[in-house]
Structure 1
Amino acid sequence: ATIGAFHGKSMGSLSATSKVIFRKPFLPLIPGFRHIPYGDADALEKEIASAEYTGEDIAAVILEPIQGEGGVIIPPDDYFPQVREICNRYGVLLIADEIQTGMGRTGKLFGIEHYGVVPDIMALGKAFGGAIMPIGAFISTKEIWEKMTPNPFLHTTTFGGNPIACAAAIAAINVTLEERLPEQAAEKGNYFIPKLIDLMSNYKNICAEGRGRGLLIGMEFTSDEAGYEVAKGLFERGVLVAGTLIHAQTLRIEPPLTITKAEL
């Protein structure tokens, strides 16, 4: 996993999450996780090579296509292609955490598509349930799924695959594709983000950077206090924004993919 990563707060996902404030109360967590700088393929290769040398082989690398809670951090364009090549060379699985970036949010159906890379495993959630039903999905290759064939009861769950949640997810997929929501997100992001960056440039005393892809957008401020005041002012005007759990100086703007240009 990486520094700045957020993958959840249950025991397994919390082990991959990086922020001490969430991790420390529940230590010890699942052993074997290592955290390296995000966007640094050289650091990844050094970590994998070191682990292999000492006999502690790495099973998988889990990454967000864009770090959401970390502050809407977009990696270099060549980062994921390099990661894919490194994983192939060392026999390591690549897991794409698409919980926030999936289902069209970044202008592609899946965020990983921006980099022309196919992961071994994808995790879906949040928008996957159409904002109505809580549902997540583990998506993988035939080769990996076949490991479950000898005993499919190795991993089961009482409410897993329940029909109501699955119906909501299928409907969400259909609407996302039929209404071309990824394309809408890309178009609206290309319209909104430059205007946001231009606006923030007028307030350099409190604004550090505006960035984003599609409709996953971040406003980074020079201090937490500045971000809080801006968020408060937006709330008072009926505009809801979200903070980030890892990088508190950044506010996220994540409007519905169906938002109109007039509303933007």
Structure 2
Amino acid sequence: MTAELTDAYRDDRAHVFHSWSAQRALDPVVVAGGLGSTFWDTDGRRYLDFSSQLVNLNLGHQHPRVVAAIQEQAAQLCTIAPTFGNAARSTAARLIASVAPGDLQHVFFTNGGTEANEHAVRMARGTTGRHKILAAYRSYHGATTGSITLTGDPRRWANEPAMPGVVRFFGPYPYRSPFHADSPEQETERALAHLEEVFTFEGPQTIAAVILESVVGTNGILVPPPGYLEGVRDLCDRHGALLIADEVMSGFGRCGEWFAVDRWGVVPDLVTFAKGVNSGYVPLGGVILGPRVYETFADRPFPGGLTYSGHPLACAAAVATIEVMRDESIPERVRDLGERVVRPRLEKLRDRHPSVGDVRGLGLFWAIELVRDRDTKEMLVPYNAAGPAAKPMAEVVAACKARGVWPFTHFNRLHVVPPLVISEAELLEGIDAIDDALDAADAYAS
């Protein structure tokens, strides 16, 4: 380890305050570089990035066209206030609108996904004149005050009370059905009946929007069963509420479509995005607006904004990203890899390991759910486990890293979410490493 990089570790421990962490417990790996689907630490140990960092590195590390676009924009104009027009910003908006669902044609830029969801809620409330937002228990929508309130997972707890007006509902989860359904079709039917009851009991005239992740991300990679998203769209239409699709994680090719909702032909009123829009090379997020919302604010001011809305460096990276994804047919490639490579390999892995209760996903967005008992579906570690209770998952993670794969985990799940540019050989290498690492989970399975 060089002196410079030793200093990086020392300065990190002395001065950096990390998110979602007990600070003294941290021992961060200092990353020296990355390329494509791989990154390496200061000791030269290389890892296959099966997490895409935080499921945002869709084009992998250091994609030359995106790096060049940032460099060229920096040489021309680093920043400009959002009140001005700018070629990078307007081109990014046009390209995003060109791949957006249905008639969504306008883009409000933010710095990330949490701000996108905050502003989408503000738009929905301003458009409808209503205040309640229906949000799912199994969800993550961001860490700022409004978005963490929308979030259903335990990261919300320590931040309460927060934004008023959020009402929870249960979304579909066929493997652990909250509705005791025995088929995906029955799960859809019962989940929609439940959501309709929530509308009824809360008063439809008070509900501004339903917000949901098109495919639930961190909280399980839950692919909606057939007819569910279409049914939610219909409920919103019947009750005058807007549908907000959070595509921060599932968008820009991750599920084998430009946006996951495209798989079901559903057109939301608002789509929030971030992460994969430019692989996080420069922070960027946003909201894509449909005509109902746009017309609300066509002749009266929208009460929101950000100093860095549509930052030129971030937008230049987004332009290059979308052009690369089109030129290299990334969504089509991802769809093929998901069905031809990932699905059959994970199904074989499930059959081989008694600790694997379920595998599910689309494109390069998959979850391996680990259990102690397949019959009872007892989770390998308890919900929101920490300390000694989380030891079995910690062992699985350590086994993955020992085999040169950096995994993404949440509770009792391993998520297979590599960069969308990963080679087929690397993809198989990573799955094989996980296959080996699951022996650690099998030791706890009956």
Both proteins in one fold, TM over 0.5:
yes
Q: 1:239: which partner in 2?
A: 405
Letter aligned with residue 257 of structure 1: L
Q: Kindly report which structure 2 residues correspond to 1:54-203, keeping only aligned pairs within 5 A, or say none.
A: 57-152=206-301, 154-190=303-339, 191-203=341-353
Please report the RMSD computed on the Cα atoms of aligned residues, expressed in angstroms: 1.4
Shift of 1:230: 2.1
* Contact persistence 1:185–1:214 (CA under 8 A): yes
Letter aligned with residue 19 of structure 1: D
Shift of 1:175: 1.3
Match of 1:50 among 201, 207, 214: 201
Look up the SS of the partner of 2:421 in the other structure: coil
Tell me the TM-score normalized by structure 2: 0.56
Whole-Å separation in 1 of the counterparts to 2:314 and 2:207: 34
Shift of 1:231: 2.0
Q: Does 1:256 align with 2:416?
A: no
Whole-Å separation in 2 of the counterparts to 1:8 and 1:95: 14
Whole-Å separation in 1 of the counterparts to 2:150 and 2:233: 19
Unaligned residue ranges in structure 2 (runs of 5+): 1-134, 173-190, 372-379, 382-390, 428-446
* Contact persistence 2:139–2:152 (CA under 8 A): yes
Unaligned residue ranges in structure 1 (runs of 5+): none
Whole-Å separation in 2 of the counterparts to 1:152 and 1:178: 38
Shift of 1:84: 0.8
* Contact persistence 1:71–1:251 (CA under 8 A): no
Shift of 1:153: 5.7
Q: Does 1:12 align with 2:178?
A: no
* Contact persistence 1:217–1:253 (CA under 8 A): yes
Residues 209 and 153 of structure 1, relative CA distance in 2, 3 Å threshold: closer
Q: 2:167: which partner in 1?
A: 34
Letter aligned with residue 259 of structure 1: I
* Contact persistence 1:148–1:154 (CA under 8 A): no
Letter aligned with residue 169 of structure 1: A
Letter aligned with residue 418 of structure 2: P
Look up the SS of the partner of 1:220 in the other structure: strand
Whole-Å separation in 2 of the counterparts to 1:153 and 1:6: 26
Look up the SS of the partner of 1:171 in the other structure: helix
Shift of 1:149: 2.6
Q: 2:184: which partner in 1?
A: none
* Contact persistence 1:130–1:171 (CA under 8 A): no
What per-residue deviation string (whole Å, max 9, x for no partner) do you get for residues 65-84 of structure 1?
Answer: 11111111112111001111
Letter aligned with residue 408 of structure 2: A
Look up the SS of the partner of 1:227 in the other structure: helix
Residues 228 and 210 of structure 1, relative CA distance in 2, 3 Å threshold: farther
Whole-Å separation in 1 of the counterparts to 2:239 and 2:344: 40
Whole-Å separation in 2 of the counterparts to 1:142 and 1:200: 45
Whole-Å separation in 1 of the counterparts to 2:236 and 2:303: 26
Shift of 1:139: 0.3
* Contact persistence 2:149–2:160 (CA under 8 A): no
Q: Does 1:211 align with 2:360?
A: yes
Look up the SS of the partner of 1:88 in the other structure: helix
Q: 2:106: which partner in 1?
A: none
Whole-Å separation in 1 of the counterparts to 2:321 and 2:279: 5
Answer 1 or 2: higher relative contact order, Cα 8 Å, separation at least 6: 2
